[in-house]
Amino acid sequence: MKATAPTAPPAAAERPTSPGRDAWLRLRRNRLAVASGVFVVLLGVICVLAPPFLGHGYADQDLSLGATPPAATHWFGTDELGRDLLARLLYGGRISLMVGFVASLVALIIGVTYGAVAGYAGGKLDAFLMRVVDILYALPFTIFVILMMVFLKQPMDQLDTWLRQFDFLKNLQGIGKIVGLFAAIGAVEWLTMARIVRGQVLTVKKMEYIEAARTLGFGHTRIIFKHIVPNLLGPVIVFTTLTIPSVMMLESFLSFLGLGVDAPLSSWGTLIKDGADKMENFPWLLVFPGGVFAATLLALNLLGDGLRDALDVRAAKD
């Protein structure tokens, strides 16, 4: 829901919880968004907690079984190697959600820091930093992610070997690749965030109460954290929510190219790619991963849109 004066400054900067509460009230009225949020959280919890209780691992094969449709023993059926699809889906959910959230977090951290510094510093530094962003904007991104995944292959394998010396990571095959995914995708997605944050900082910086705070002799740190950061939260939250689904989609695209996570680990992207190839003869291989993936993306998008309306953020993404 949009306020009539779109850029009206939060009137009650002394009580920073109040606009938040307002937004929360507005969000709550958007039932679709709330339901979406609940769905994503629930799904995340299931992916993290449920797998040990399934009785099937993601790599346990039964070649004599082959691909079987859903049944009592395997709720979502099995793939051609006789592996339980539900187990693979939930483990894959861990990977996909992790890639989605962590890569977005990487983008968030780089973007917010970069944008805030540029916006707050202003002047020549700002101009320079933003020019760099402009330059990076001219890179063909899909292509650069592909190039990076191809080129990072070896370092990622080395990282994988190194990481798996540690006991708690020993069984996580392809962890290096996942870290590579974070880096490649995060590196691509932070630009828009930086622009948004900078714009917001510039607007807020000129507000009278900031001027007032400055004349009162408050330090930079206090001004940044007490007054500017709370004003950034809205756009940042909205944009992050909308980044997660696009990151997950990018991951599935990389899986299509064979640049996704390593076997026998699966992500939703690799499962869907596999299912799309086999949908005519083994439709369940596509229906379940595809359904869950689409529902998650839809939920995240609806949540993002809901938040945008509630927090009254304009054109956060586009």
Partner 1 sequence: MRAPIQSSPVPFSYLALALAILLFPGCGKTGQATASSPAKKILNVGNGAEPQDLDPQVTTGVTEHHLLMALFEGLVAEHPSGEGIAPGVAESWETSADQLTWTFHLRAKARWSNGDPVTAHDFIRSYQRILTPVFAAEYSYQLYVVEGAEAFNKGTLTDFAKTGFSALDDHTLVLHLVQPVPYLLYALRHTSWFPVHLPTIEKFGPPDRKGSAWTRAGNLVGNGPFILTKWLPNQAITVERSPTYWNAAEVKLDTIIFHPVEDNNTEERMFRSGQLDVTETIPTDKIDAYRRERPELLRLDPFYGTYYYNLNLTRPPLDDVRVRRALALALDREAIVKTILRAGQEPAYHFTPPYAGYTPGEKLTGGLAEARRLLAEAGYPEGKGMRRLEILYNTSEAHKAVAEAVQQMWRTGLGVEVALRNEEWKVYLDSKDNLAYDVCRAGWIGDFPDPHGFLEVFMTGGGNNDTGYANPGYDRLLKSALGLPDQSARMDIYRQLDTMLTRDVPEIPLYFYKRVHLISPRVKNWVPNIIDNRGWQYIDLDPVIASGDLKGKD
Partner 2 sequence: MLRFILRRLLETIPVLLIIASATFFMLRLVPGGPFTAEKAVSKEILRNLQAHYGLDKPLPAQYAAYLWDITPKRFAPWRLFADTDRNESPDFDLKAAFGINLGPSFKYPNRTVNEIIADKLPHSLELGLWALAVALALGMPLGVLAAMRKNTAADYTASTLAMVGICVPTFVMGPLLVLFFALHLHWFNASGWYFASDRVLPAATLGLVYAAYVARLTRGGMLEVLNQDYIRTARAKGASETRIVLRHALRGGLLPVITFLGPAIAGIISGSFVIETIFQIPGLGREFVTSAFNRDYTLVSGTVLLYAGLIVALNLAVDVVQVWLNPRLKFE
- Footprint of partner 2 on 138-177 (CB under 8 A): 138-143, 146-147, 150-151, 153-154
Count the neighbouring beta carbons within 10 Å of the beta carbon of residue 180: 22
Query: Which amino acid would we find at residue 64?
Result: S
C-alpha to C-alpha distance for 254 and 145, rounded to whole angstroms: 9
When CB distances are held under 5 to 8 angstroms depending on the partner's kind, the choice from partner 2, partner 1, none that residue 230 binds is none
Q: Are 296 and 44 in contact (CB under 8 A)?
A: no
C-alpha to C-alpha distance for 67 and 275, rounded to whole angstroms: 12
Q: Provide the residue count of the chain.
A: 318
Give all strands (DSSP E) within 31-181, no chain letters: none
Q: Identify the residue among 59, 110, 117, 130 touching partner 1 (CB under 8 A).
A: 59
Task: Between 44 and 264, name the residue whose CB sits nearer to partner 1.
Answer: 264
Alpha-carbon 276 to chain mean position: 24
When CB distances are held under 5 to 8 angstroms depending on the partner's kind, the choice from partner 1, partner 2, none that residue 66 binds is partner 1
Least distance between partner 2 and beta carbon 247 (Å): 12
What the block records as the tokens of 5 is 């004066």
Report if residue 63 touches partner 1, rule: CB under 8 A: yes
Q: Are 164 and 175 in contact (CB under 8 A)?
A: yes
C-alpha to C-alpha distance for 93 and 100, rounded to whole angstroms: 10
Report if residue 282 touches partner 1, rule: CB under 8 A: yes
x-or-dash pattern for partner 1, window 67-106, by CB under 8 A?
x------------xxx------------------------
Residues contacting partner 1: total by CB under 8 A: 26
Query: Which amino acid would we find at residue 92?
Result: G
C-alpha to C-alpha distance for 227 and 233, rounded to whole angstroms: 11
When CB distances are held under 5 to 8 angstroms depending on the partner's kind, the choice from partner 2, partner 1, none that residue 278 binds is partner 1
Query: Which amino acid would we find at residue 111?
Result: G
x-or-dash pattern for partner 2, window 10-39, by CB under 8 A?
--------------------x-x-------
Q: Identify the residue among 51, 273, 307, 311 touching partner 2 (CB under 8 A).
A: 273
Taking every pair of C-alpha atoms in the chain, what is the biggest distance, in angstroms?
78
Report if residue 215 touches partner 1, rule: CB under 8 A: no
Alpha-carbon distances of 34 from 39, 286, 299, 316, rounded to whole Å: 9, 28, 9, 20
Of 13-21, 133-141, 159-167, 211-219, which part binds partner 2 (CB under 8 A)? 133-141
Q: Which of 163, 147, 185, 143 is nearest to 269 (CA)?
A: 185
C-alpha to C-alpha distance for 94 and 48, rounded to whole angstroms: 6
Report if residue 43 touches partner 1, rule: CB under 8 A: no
Report if residue 281 touches partner 1, rule: CB under 8 A: yes
Residues contacting partner 2: total by CB under 8 A: 50
Query: Which residues contact partner 1 (rule: CB under 8 A)?
Result: 59-61, 63-64, 66-67, 80-82, 150, 153-154, 157, 173, 258-259, 262-264, 274, 277-278, 280-282
Binding residues vs partner 2 (CB under 8 A): 1-2, 4, 6, 30, 32, 131, 134-135, 137-143, 146-147, 150-151, 153-154, 245-246, 249, 252-253, 256-257, 269, 272-273, 275-276, 279-280, 286, 290, 293-295, 297-298, 301-302, 305, 314-315, 317-318
